[in-house]
Amino acid sequence: LKMRQKLGLFANVRPTFTFPSLIDKSPLKRDRIEGTDLIILRELTGGVYFGERGRKDDGNTAFDTMTYQRFEIERLAKKGFEFAMKRS
């Protein structure tokens, strides 16, 4: 995680599409997945990885926070916009 931060590797990019030759091998119905072509972006250096987590003294309560700074959200949104512009 620290290496990601130092190198500025903040975006997990997951292209998702169907291969026509494999579409009938999917457990999902053909009409639901045929033509799927999208990119999923996920933030990698903040929030879920570096949030505060723990348990309360009562033993019945746990917490796991996801805190993001404005610049973290903006740079991921910008990256998503850049991908969208290249695909249209």
Query: Amino acid identity, residue 79?
Result: K
Q: Which helix (H) or strand (E) holds 12?
A: strand 11-17
Tallying the residues shown for the chain, one arrives at 88
Q: Is 78 helix (H, G, I), strand (E, B) or coil?
A: helix
Tens of pLDDT, residue by residue, the chain (88 residues): 777 777 777 889 999 999 999 999 999 999 999 999 999 999 888 777 777 889 998 889 999 888 888 999 999 999 999 999 998 7
DSSP string, 16-31: EE--GGGGGGSSS-HH
Which residue range is the domain that position 18 belongs to? 2-87
Tokens representing 11 are 């975006």
What is the number of domains present in the chain?
Answer: 1
